[in-house]
Amino acid sequence: MDFAIKLGAPEKSRGACIVVGIFESRKLSEPAKILDDTSKGYISNILRQGDMEGKANTTLLLHNVPDIPAKRVMLVGLGKEKDFNDRAYQLAVSTTFRALHQTGAADAALFLTEIPLKQRNVAWKITQTAIIAAESTYRFDRLKSKPEKEHVVLSKVALYVSDQASLPIGEKALQQGLAIARGISVAKDLGNLAPNICTPTYLAEQATEMAKTYKLKVSILGQKEMEKLGMGAFLAVARGSDQPAKLIVLEYRGMAKMDKPIVLVGKGVTFDTGGISLKPAAEMDEMKFDMSGAGSVLGVLTAVAEMKLPLNVVGIIPATENMPGGNATKPGDVVTSMSGQTIEILNTDAEGRLILCDALTYAERYKPDAVIDIATLTGACVIALGHVASGLMSNNDQLAKELLQASELASDRAWQLPLWSDYQEWLKSNFADMANIGGRSAGTITAACFLSRFTEKYPWAHLDIAGTAWKNGKEKGSTGRPVPLLTQFLISRAKV
């Protein structure tokens, strides 16, 4: 699908399909009104006949509207005007694309970006439209022997703006939206891949490919190198698996060398059985998504490289399986992390924090401006926030605030949880500097408390995406979150 930002009047548009919005009940948006006037009340007549109310999630396709040069006019329900908010706009756009794909239209002209939306400008609407349009064509069928042949006819989409000044703004917003969409799709593909294919080695290969495509610096560390670095916590997780663990490091330079980078650390557990503290069988297949943090790092770097953002970003991905092999770590084992701190591993299923803590120590060498880790870290986060918001915790209020603002702007929800020192007590161990689990309560926070002991040298934030990285049930699949949030954070940081 190709996109363009255009300026022009709906009644003159000659394409295969014009899309205009209708509020409930039967209230025409501005562009719809113009079409109605030109066609001498043709549209309002149809509405009066009761064919469309303007309810959200509905469309009505009209052919050969009098005095309108376009072949088709699609009316899209916007719901009640007073309730027209972000979600309603997003729903109208996704409804539009679903309906457009069912027509034979090869091109479409959308007049939805002009509809006023509280606190959102035309740039936001265009970025969202590009992301939603890309999602409407996303399929993951590469593992099916006969992929369904449903080729998308729609190849050109014009997003109309109402004034000259909006053209360059719209163009920039479009490019950002397309870059974010690309990043989301990278993250989704990696998450959806079967865990026998998406192994630590596969992630390393993908990172190497990405480095070639976008001219990034890549280094892949294997077991030997990690032993030299003293990554005892990471290696304790890896030892139960036959798949070799990898520490993947990608460096994107959009600025002078001296500029301190933002480091993204993504949990890359390509399958989490729990290890010796084995998980129950039900839904264990979903633990293939336990590398979603890693996927989001590769997704964000893709988006950043596509946009050529003027800042430096480093991605660090500790990648391993968590398996109960004969050599696996046992509950009670004590290991020494790269930081020198010792850890009593009371539960081998709390493996994410073990691989992250060494990656976070490794991050110190970049003298980072900020470090953000992204991890499907705790089931407790799903209990606390459901599948709606990612959990955010930070040792720096300014950084947390920036991330929350980016989350709001990107419509990719996150909610901050406290990291008060009161919670640190739970990690006490009788045998080592700390245990790798707290009690049953506040599991998301105690996991972050564990990580906080390895992040004292820089501003740090932690995103627990256990509830948001994938959907289960009938719609099982990766969501690509929090690529929108993180990319927006970097766009805002780059001040472009």
How far apart are CB 376 and Zn ion at their closest, in Å? 6
272 lies in the binding site for Mn ion (CB under 5 A): yes
Give the one residue of 100, 238, 350, 442 binding ligand BES; rule: CB under 6 A: 350
Choose the catalytic residue: 71, 80, 279, 471: 279
By CB under 5 A, which span of 18-26, 72-80, 89-97, 349-357 interacts with Mn ion?
349-357
How far apart are CB 347 and ligand BES at their closest, in Å? 4
437 lies in the binding site for ligand BES (CB under 6 A): yes
Give the one residue of 153, 167, 255, 382 binding ligand BES; rule: CB under 6 A: 382
The question of whether 353 is a catalytic residue gets the answer yes
321 lies in the binding site for ligand BES (CB under 6 A): no
How far apart are CB 290 and Zn ion at their closest, in Å? 4
479 lies in the binding site for ligand BES (CB under 6 A): no
The question of whether 367 is a catalytic residue gets the answer no
String marking each residue 288-317 x if it binds Zn ion according to CB under 5 A:
--x---------------------------
By CB under 6 A, which span of 184-192, 250-258, 291-299, 379-387 interacts with ligand BES?
379-387
| Size of site (CB under 6 A) for ligand BES | 16
How far apart are CB 455 and ligand BES at their closest, in Å? 19
Choose the catalytic residue: 125, 267, 288, 353: 353
Give the one residue of 290, 306, 321, 344 binding ligand BES; rule: CB under 6 A: 290
351 lies in the binding site for ligand BES (CB under 6 A): yes
String marking each residue 271-290 x if it binds Zn ion according to CB under 5 A:
-x-----------------x
110 lies in the binding site for ligand BES (CB under 6 A): no
464 lies in the binding site for Mn ion (CB under 5 A): no
| Closest to Mn ion by CB, 114 or 349 | 349
Contact partner at residue 46 from ligand BES, Mn ion, Zn ion, none, CB < 5 to 8 Å by partner kind = none
24 lies in the binding site for Mn ion (CB under 5 A): no
> 3-state SS string over the chain?
CEEEEEECCHHHCCCCCEEEEEEECCEECHHHHHHHHHCCCHHHHHHHCCCCCCCCCCEEEEECCCCCCCCEEEEEEEEEHHHCCHHHHHHHHHHHHHHHHCCCCCEEEECCCCCCECCECHHHHHHHHHHHHHHHCCCCCCCCCCCCCCCCCCCEEEEEECCCCHHHHHHHHHHHHHHHHHHHHHHHHHHHCCCCCCCHHHHHHHHHHHHHHHCCEEEEECHHHHHHHCCHHHHHHHCCCCCCCEEEEEEEECCCCCCCCEEEEECEEEEECCCCCCCCCCCHHHHHHHHHHHHHHHHHHHHHHHHCCCCEEEEEEEEEEECCCCCCCCCCEEEECCCCCEEEECCCCCCHHHHHHHHHHHHHHHCCCEEEEEECCCHHHHHHHCCCCEEEEECCHHHHHHHHHHHHHHCCCEEECCCCHHHHHHHCCCCCCEECCCCCCCHHHHHHHHHHCCCCCCCEEEEECCCCCEECHHHCEECCCCHHHHHHHHHHHHCC
11 lies in the binding site for Zn ion (CB under 5 A): no
Q: What residues are annotated to the active site?
A: 279, 353
Q: Where along the sequence are the contacts to ligand BES (CB under 6 A)? A: 272, 290, 347, 349-352, 376-380, 382, 437, 443, 466
